[in-house]
Amino acid sequence: MRYQRGGLSDRGVDCSGFVHLTFKSKLGLHLPRTTRMQSKIGKEIRKNDLKAGDLVFFRTGSASEHVGIYLEKNKFLHASQKKGVTISRLDNGYWKSNYWKSVRI
């Protein structure tokens, strides 16, 4: 699926839209639509305690935030502007330096 800012359909999704749709379709859970609101729900956990399905948040600019779904072995699934929905590593330099927090729903 390709990236589309504000997207919430098969034509494209943004990071929070992807998380919103995934939790709704796979788990029947209705999460907020925006990254900021998603970051305020659930229980904040330590990075070392991540389990599959936890949300990982990043600050990618002065007013930008990003969210993905933790998989396992330091990998997370997210909607990337360049690659669409993809898997990345938390220990990648970019993501490591921009890591903000993790939340368990």
17 is catalytic: no
- Residue in 13, 15, 19, 79 annotated catalytic: 15
- Residue in 14, 18, 35, 66 annotated catalytic: 66
Report H helices in 55-103: 93-98
> What are the structural domains, with CATH classification, of the chain?
8-104 (3.90.1720.10)
Residues contacting residue 72 through CB under 8 Å, at least 6 positions apart: 52
- Which pLDDT score, from 0 to 100, does residue 6 have? 84
Positions of the chain with pLDDT lower than 70, given as ranges = none
Predicted TM-score (pTM) of the model is 0.93
Torsion of CA 32, 38, 43, 46, to 10 degrees: 160
- Which pLDDT score, from 0 to 100, does residue 64 have? 87
Task: Find the angle CA(67)-CA(4)-CA(77) to the nearest 5 degrees.
Answer: 35
- Residue in 35, 78, 79, 103 annotated catalytic: 78
Q: What letter does residue 37 receive in the DSSP assignment? A: H
- Which pLDDT score, from 0 to 100, does residue 57 have? 98
Distance CA(13)–CA(4), nearest Å, equals 5
